[in-house]
Every structure is written in C-alpha cells, then in structure tokens.
Chains A and B, each alone.
Chain A
Amino acid sequence: MPPTDAKPSAPPPAITVDRLVVDRGGRSVLRDLSTTVPAGSVTGLLGPSGSGKTTLIRSIVGTQKVKSGRVTVLGDPAGSKPLRNRVAYVTQDASIYPDLSVRSNVAYFAALYGRRRADAMAAIERVGMGEFAGRLAANLSGGQKTRTSLACALVCEPEVLVLDEPTVGLDPVIRDELWSQFRALASAGKTLVVSSHVMDEADRCDRLLLLREGLFIADDTPGDLRAATGTENLEAAFLHLIRELEETR
C-alpha cells in the first residue's frame, strides 16, 4: 500500500488509522490496517459483506474494542469526549426509536447535540422526510428509516460523518440526492467516510479504500485505481487486485 506522505502544505488528516488490529469472536477481523483520511473529502470504504467495514467504522467512532493500534480523529483518540459532538455515526441498521415519531427522534438527537428544534426540522427536510415528520418510525419503510437515522446524524452538523452502508435499498433518485448532499458537505470542508458493498457508488468518492478479509487491498483515487489496474470499471479493478494478490501468495 503506498504510504500517503503528508506534504508540508497539506492540512492534517481528519482521520488517522495506525496499525489497527481488531479481534472479534476470537478471530482476527482487522489485520494491521493503516491509512489516513484527508479532511474535506468523501472516502469510500468498499468491500464484500464480512470484510470488516462495520468493524473499521466502529473503531473510527470509538465503539469497538481494539486489540492494538491507534485511531485518531481530528487530533483526538477515537471516541474521546471532545469528539462526541464533532463526529456523527450512521449505523448500518437504522438506529432510531421505533416508538417515536420521525420528528421526536431527530429532535432528541438535536437536543443531545445542543441544537434547536428548528435544526431538527431542517435536517428532516434535508433527507426528504418532511411529509413523514409526524409518523411513528415503526411505520416507515426501510429506506425512510435509513433517512431518519441519517437526519439524526446530520442535525449535529458534524465535522466528520461516518456512514455504514447508508444507501442500501434506497430509491435511485433519493440515492442520487444523498450523494449530492455528501458531495456538498465535503465541499464545505466536512469529512465523510461512506461504506458500501456495491461498487457502483465508488465513482462518487474522492478516495477508495478496498477492504477484503480485514486487509486493505487498495487505497487510492478511483482514477488512479483504474489506471493502475488497466481496467475500465471499478468492479473489474477490484477483481484484478484480488487475482494479483492470490497469484503472489
């Protein structure tokens, strides 16, 4: 993996992962991962199901027990107190209260982050849930739950937003809108890490981390990845890398 040497002029990275090792259920799930995520970018964390995406994301937000190594976010250890209203996490399964309305869910998280009710309404509008604001979360479709969960994170106006497979099962139009929002947030200087197990969103990212069996097999821009592997689409690039690795074994 090419080390991303910080150029003297480059701003400090938003996230630094340094030799991270995580065991889960007695098995090594992340095996010595290192990378840096530049501020103001969208980084795609791609890999098949079970490759360790959620585990890495949990390590970045500080809810995962790690065996060794270090994760630093905005200059502080992952999960430490000063980060708790600067970093927001959208879990893979919508983590909202089914027995509360959309409005009450988002207003609750808004209050925890010290934001106002009006901010909650704005976040609900941003994810296109305005017309469902009064509906109980239990009565929402899967995609609507995901969007509500996203609103609960957006309401924090986080500097770092970590999203675990946020677009699974969403309508293509809404998916497109969300990606535009992610891009807009990055342009405004926020840092986003978005995981996905499908490749068709990879081109929306500034950088890609390809994860397989707990190891990074690529850490590059989509363009450079295509060029390096001599492939047209990223799915093919991923396959190419896996084959290459298996041959060298």
Chain B
Amino acid sequence: MSLRITLITAGRILRQLLNDRRTVVMILAVPALIISLISAIMDAAPAVFDQVGLILLAAFPFMLMFMITSITLLRERTGGTLERLMTTPTAKMDLVGGYALAFGVCASLQTAIAATVAYLWLDLDTVGSAWTVGLIAIVTSLFGMALGLFVSAFASTEFQAIQFMPVLIVPQLFLCGLIWPREQMAGWLQGVSDALPLTYAVKALQEVQVSSDLTAAMWGDLGIVAGAVVVATVLGAATLRRRTG
C-alpha cells in the first residue's frame, strides 16, 4: 500500500464527481433539503423532530454514500478500468483507501452542511455537541460506502446495484429506530435490529441527544459502527481480484 497512490486515487475520484454537477448537488444539498422538509412536516412537534431529524443526519448520508459508491465502483469494474488499474502499481488497498478518502471528504462536507442547517435554522436540539453528531454521521456514511464497495461485486448493471437498496439499506433504516421506537417493536424484530450496524449509529446519536458527556455507551456504539466499517471494507477489498476467470 502506498499513501501517494491512495491520494492520487482519491483525487481522481473527486475530480470525476466534480465533473458531474448533478451528483455534486445531490451530495451537498439533498440531505439538508430532506431534513428541512421533515422539519416542516413536523412543525407542530419539535420534540419529535429532535429525534427524527437527528437520526436523519446520519441515516441519509449513509444511504447516499451506499448508492454513489456501489455505482462508481460498478462502473470501475464493468468499464475495464479496474482491470487496467490492476496492471499498474495500484494496490487493492490503495484503491479502497482512495474511495474511502474521497467519499469521506464528501461525507464530511455533506454532514457539515446538513448539520449547520439543522442546528442553526431548524432548531434541532441536542444536549451533547453537534461535533459528536457530525463524527457519528461521518462514520456511518463510511459504513454506507463500505457496503456499496462490497455489493458492487455482486451486480453487473447499475440497475442491479440499486436493487440492493431495498435488501440491505431499507431494513436497516426501518429497524434502527427512525420510523418507530425500537422498544415498541416485537421481540424478534428487536433481535434483528440488534444485529444491524445502523442501529448502533442511532443509539450513539441518542446518547448525544440526552448527555453532554462523551459517554462510554456512546463510544461503545460508535465503535461497533466503526467495526462494521472495517469488516465491510475487508469483505469489499476481497472482492477486488487482480486475476479473474
């Protein structure tokens, strides 16, 4: 692995994104707009918005990063550039690192904008700091990126890649506590929810919501999400093969 090649790769991916205005707008503005919309919908119940808006700060970038990564990597695989890169000095982890870095930058900008809008204009209220919320959101969106990297190996068209959304992403969104409190779900659903990494991102956010301290529980939950990022990245990297049949 080489830091130089990782940086070159990240630069190339960012340049690709910059040449696609619509994607730039989607990455930077859409999460903030969606949160504003939710805030308007929940205008009569600010306490509910404090719950839902907060979760969306992490959940929406998670979904978006999954989409963008699975499609850009799929293009890399099907367009022949992946095979070509494998004949250059690029190591697999340089490529994965390049993607993580490039999309990490995107996720940070996206989160910064969405959080600024939510805290300053939409009166989102948390006891803990917005910085911690931002950190959780970025780690969560890296999990989306890593999942996207992994599934791109199992799709041969962009349409197939998008089909993984309802399979891998939507259940996590529904069971993480975004649309219904976890404690009020049937026992077996709570069990499923416990097995899904996004749940721990939400738990970490809920810790920040009620506590101004960086609690051990918050770090523990965030650690689980970070662990899921590592596992998904390793699985994803394993699908990048230098030699194929």
Asked if residues B88 and A91 are in contact (CB atoms below 8 Å), the reply is no
Q: Which residues of A contact B12 (CB under 8 A)?
A: 97, 100, 104, 108
A203 within 8 A of B: no
* Distance in angstroms between the alpha carbons of A135 and B161 in the assembled complex: 29
User: Which of A65, A95, A101 lies in contact with B84, CB distance below 8 A?
Assistant: A95
Residue among A94, A99, A101 having the largest count of chain B Cβ atoms under 10 Å: A99
A64 within 8 A of B: yes
Q: Which residues from 81 to 139 on chain A have a C-beta closer than 8 Å to any C-beta of chain B?
A: 84-85, 87-89, 91, 93-101, 104, 108-109, 111-114, 136
* Distance in angstroms between the alpha carbons of A112 and B88 in the assembled complex: 7
Q: Which residues of B contact A25 (CB under 8 A)?
A: 245
Q: Which residues from 72 to 126 on chain B have a C-beta closer than 8 Å to any C-beta of chain A?
A: 79-81, 83-90
A142 within 8 A of B: no
A68 → chain B, closest Cβ, in Å?
14
Asked if residues B81 and A100 are in contact (CB atoms below 8 Å), the reply is no
Q: Which residues of A contact B20 (CB under 8 A)?
A: 99
User: Which of B8, B16, B84, B89 lies in contact with A89, CB distance below 8 A?
Assistant: B84
Chain A residue, CB-CB nearest to B13: A97
Q: Which residues of A contact B80 (CB under 8 A)?
A: 91, 93-95
Asked if residues A97 and B243 are in contact (CB atoms below 8 Å), the reply is no
SS of B interface (majority): loop
SS of A interface (majority): loop
Residue among B16, B80, B87, B90 having the largest count of chain A Cβ atoms under 10 Å: B87
* Distance in angstroms between the alpha carbons of A109 and B9 in the assembled complex: 10
* Distance in angstroms between the alpha carbons of A99 and B75 in the assembled complex: 11
B244 within 8 A of A: yes
Asked if residues B87 and A65 are in contact (CB atoms below 8 Å), the reply is no
Q: Which residues of B contact A111 (CB under 8 A)?
A: 8
Asked if residues A108 and B8 are in contact (CB atoms below 8 Å), the reply is yes
Asked if residues B8 and A112 are in contact (CB atoms below 8 Å), the reply is yes
Asked if residues A63 and B86 are in contact (CB atoms below 8 Å), the reply is yes
A240 within 8 A of B: no
With A63-B242, A64-B244: A91-B16 Cβ-Cβ less than 8 Å:
no
Asked if residues A24 and B245 are in contact (CB atoms below 8 Å), the reply is yes
Q: Which residues of A contact B242 (CB under 8 A)?
A: 62-63, 79
A120 → chain B, closest Cβ, in Å?
12
Chain B residue, CB-CB nearest to A58: B83
A61 within 8 A of B: yes
Q: Which residues of A contact B79 (CB under 8 A)?
A: 95, 97-98
Chain B residue, CB-CB nearest to A156: B88
* Distance in angstroms between the alpha carbons of A84 and B90 in the assembled complex: 8
Asked if residues B245 and A85 are in contact (CB atoms below 8 Å), the reply is no
Q: Which residues from 151 to 202 on chain B have a C-beta closer than 8 Å to any C-beta of chain A?
A: none
Q: Which residues of B contact A98 (CB under 8 A)?
A: 79
Chain B residue, CB-CB nearest to A96: B81
Asked if residues A97 and B89 are in contact (CB atoms below 8 Å), the reply is no
B positions within 8 Å CB-CB of A: 5, 8, 12, 15-16, 19-20, 79-81, 83-90, 242-245
Q: List 18 A-B contacts (CB under 8 A).
A: A61-B87, A63-B243, A64-B245, A79-B87, A79-B242, A84-B87, A84-B88, A84-B89, A87-B87, A89-B87, A91-B84, A93-B80, A95-B83, A95-B84, A109-B88, A112-B5, A112-B85, A114-B89
By Cβ-Cβ distance, the 5 closest A-B pairs, closest first, are A95-B80, A95-B84, A111-B8, A84-B89, A89-B87
